[in-house]
């Protein structure tokens, strides 16, 4: 089954060329199927790149996915054309007012991780999003800063500044092989990391209801399950394209920012070489497992999403 996207959204053509099955909303409406509704609250500056990355992963399952793009209400994007935002995004205020519900919601990272959470300009609205998920979303995935922000809001889990950016591809251990979210995972997983802050395992251990599923000795927890809030926190970037770390590195080098070569990414750590993608299969496994778990546990009647399961 396909992911449903507007035919003029850039991701429609990009994913079609990659062999991902996509379908227009008009075509999807002719099928007598209850699609899985997945929202993407996109906090990243490069909106289109981020749309493509997450649509690629959630669209690779056997289920029909109704993919909805959401933005913060009063925060204007400076890196994506206004007509793109107007054509394809709704504000959270509009979604909240409509009363609609979602089977899943992805909350992306944002380039604000050095700021205290409360100093982020849209923090008040974002905390409203977090609370809204408890009655209107069956399962939420917070990615990188988005996951750190959710964990801070619900558990007071602190983020700690790093002396140097954690940047590169790092080995992570499968700590919960029986978890439905890690079906098919290897014992060791290579995961792209790009952040200036970290969550520490002792803080996770001290927070009731949190369980680390993937973790690294070098970069700490990667995938944390929050059972009470029906959430997963992914502090790293399995969704990244093959060249995303390269683009970040080249950008910083071009403007003279101090930045280390991303570790374990280029052959021989040589940035003149072409990087290879060694995490793609686990990215598809994680998001496919998440979608499957949603499908197995969500209500058929979407009006009941947020109610306790019998």
- Of 119, 102, 99, nearest to 68 by C-alpha is 102
* Distance in angstroms (rounded) separating the CA atoms of residues 268 and 282: 23
Identified catalytic residue from 144, 153, 169, 282: 144
List Cβ neighbours of 84 (8 Å cut-off, separation of 6 or more). Answer: 47, 48
239 is a catalytic site residue: yes
Buried b (16+ CB within 10 A) or exposed e, 74-108: ebebeebeeebbeebbbbbeebbeeebbbbbbbbb
* Distance in angstroms (rounded) separating the CA atoms of residues 121 and 43: 12
- Which residues on neighbouring strands pair with residue 185, listed in sequence order? none
* Distance in angstroms (rounded) separating the CA atoms of residues 2 and 24: 9
Identified catalytic residue from 136, 138, 237, 282: 237
What are the catalytic residues? 144, 237, 239
């Amino acid at each position: 089954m396909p992911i449903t996207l507007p035919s003029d959204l850039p991701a429609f053509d990009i994913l079609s060329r990659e062999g991902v099955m996509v379908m227009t909303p008009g075509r999807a409406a002719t099928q007598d199927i209850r699609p899985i509704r997945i929202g993407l609250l996109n906090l990243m500056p490069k909106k289109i790149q981020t749309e493509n990355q997450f649509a690629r992963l959630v669209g690779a399952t056997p289920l029909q996915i109704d993919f909805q793009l959401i933005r913060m209400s009063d925060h204007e994007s400076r890196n994506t054309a206004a007509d793109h935002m107007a054509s394809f995004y709704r504000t959270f205020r509009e979604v909240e007012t409509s009363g609609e519900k979602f089977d899943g919601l992805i909350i992306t990272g944002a380039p604000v991780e050095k700021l205290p959470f409360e100093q982020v300009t849209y923090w008040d609205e974002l905390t409203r999003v977090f609370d809204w998920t408890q009655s209107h979303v069956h399962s939420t995935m917070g990615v990188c800063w988005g996951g750190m922000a959710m964990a801070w809001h619900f558990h007071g889990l602190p983020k700690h500044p790093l002396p140097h950016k954690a940047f590169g591809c790092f080995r992570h251990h499968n700590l919960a092989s029986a978890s439905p979210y890690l079906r098919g995972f290897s014992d060791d997983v290579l995961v792209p990391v790009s952040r200036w802050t970290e969550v520490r395992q002792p803080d996770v251990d001290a927070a009731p209801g949190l369980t680390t599923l993937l973790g690294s000795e070098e970069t700490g927890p990667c995938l944390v399950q929050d059972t009470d809030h029906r959430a997963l926190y992914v502090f790293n970037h399995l969704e990244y394209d093959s060249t995303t770390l390269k683009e970040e590195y080249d950008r910083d080098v071009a403007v003279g920012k101090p930045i280390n070569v991303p570790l374990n990414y280029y052959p021989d750590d040589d940035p003149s070489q072409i990087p290879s993608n060694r995490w793609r299969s686990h990215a598809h496994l994680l998001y496919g497992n998440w979608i499957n778990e949603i499908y197995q546990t969500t209500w058929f009647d979407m009006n009941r999403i947020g109610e306790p399961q019998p």
